[in-house]
Amino acid sequence: MEKPKFNFSTPFIRFLGGQNILFLILLILLLGFTIWVYSYISFIFAPIIVFVQTVVFPVVLALIAFYLLRPILRLLEKAKIPRVWGILIIFLFLAGLITIIIVAIVPFLRTQFENLIMEFPNYLNQMIQSINNFVNNSVLNTYFQDFSLESNDLIRSLPESVSNVFNQTLTGVTSLISTITDFVLGLVTFPFILFYLLKDGEKLPRYVIKLLPPSMREDTADLLKQMDRQLSSYIQGQLMVAFCIGVMIYIGFLIIGMDYALLLASIAMVTSVVPYLGPIIAITPAIIIAIVTSPFMLVKLVIVWTVVQLLEGKLISPQIMGKNLHIHPITIIFVLLTAGHLFGVVGVVLGIPGYALLKIIVTHIYFLFRRRYNKYAAEPYEKIQ
Nearest to 332 by CA among 277, 271, 269, 279: 277
Whether the Cβ atoms of residue 324 and residue 234 lie closer than 8 Å to each other: yes
Whether the Cβ atoms of residue 130 and residue 291 lie closer than 8 Å to each other: yes
Average pLDDT of the segment spanning 176-199: 77
Q: What's the rounded Cα separation, in Å, for the pair 169 and 165?
A: 6
| Tens digits of residue pLDDT in 68-108 | 888 888 888 888 888 889 889 999 988 888 888 788 777 77
Sequence-distant (≥ 6) Cβ neighbours of residue 277 within 8 angstroms? 271, 336, 348
Q: Tell me the chain's radius of gyration from C-alpha atoms.
A: 29
pLDDT over 60 (residue 329): yes
Alpha helices in the chain (DSSP H): 11-16, 20-41, 46-78, 83-100, 106-136, 151-171, 173-200, 204-210, 214-256, 261-271, 277-293, 295-311, 317-320, 329-343, 345-377
Using CA of residue 365, residue 371, residue 374, residue 376, what is the dihedral sign?
negative
- Tell me the residue type at 141: N
| Tens digits of residue pLDDT in 155-173 | 555 555 545 544 554 455 5
pLDDT over 60 (residue 371): yes
295, containing H or E segment:
helix 295-311
What's the pLDDT band for 267 if we cut at 50, 70, 90?
confident
What's the pLDDT band for 385 if we cut at 50, 70, 90?
very low
What's the pLDDT band for 119 if we cut at 50, 70, 90?
confident
Nearest to 291 by CA among 133, 155, 144, 158: 133
Among the residue ranges 166-170, 207-211, 318-322, 380-384, the one predicted with the least confidence is 380-384
**DSSP state letter for 315:** I
Nearest to 265 by CA among 99, 64, 108: 108
The pLDDT assigned to 52 comes to 73
The pLDDT assigned to 113 comes to 76
* CA-to-CA dists, residue 179 to 26, 245, 337, 351, angstroms: 44, 31, 23, 21
The pLDDT assigned to 219 comes to 82
Crossing angle of helices 295-311/277-293, nearest 10°?
A: 160
More confident residue, 112 or 307: 307
The pLDDT assigned to 269 comes to 86
The pLDDT assigned to 382 comes to 45
The pLDDT assigned to 322 comes to 53
Give a three-class secondary structure readout of 316-382. Answer: HHHHHCCCCCCCCHHHHHHHHHHHHHHHCHHHHHHHHHHHHHHHHHHHHHHHHHHHHHHHHHCCCCC
Whether the Cβ atoms of residue 338 and residue 277 lie closer than 8 Å to each other: no
- Tell me the residue type at 329: P
The pLDDT assigned to 258 comes to 85
Local structure of 138: helix, strand or coil: coil
pLDDT over 70 (residue 295): yes
| Tens digits of residue pLDDT in 5-36 | 444 456 655 555 555 667 777 888 988 888 88
Q: What is the percent of the chain with per-residue pLDDT over 90, rounded to a whole number?
A: 1
- Tell me the residue type at 117: I
Whether the Cβ atoms of residue 13 and residue 24 lie closer than 8 Å to each other: no
**DSSP state letter for 142:** G
The pLDDT assigned to 21 comes to 65
The pLDDT assigned to 6 comes to 45
The pLDDT assigned to 323 comes to 53
What's the pLDDT band for 138 if we cut at 50, 70, 90?
low
Whether the Cβ atoms of residue 89 and residue 81 lie closer than 8 Å to each other: yes
Among the residue ranges 72-76, 137-141, 148-152, 277-281, the one predicted with the least confidence is 148-152
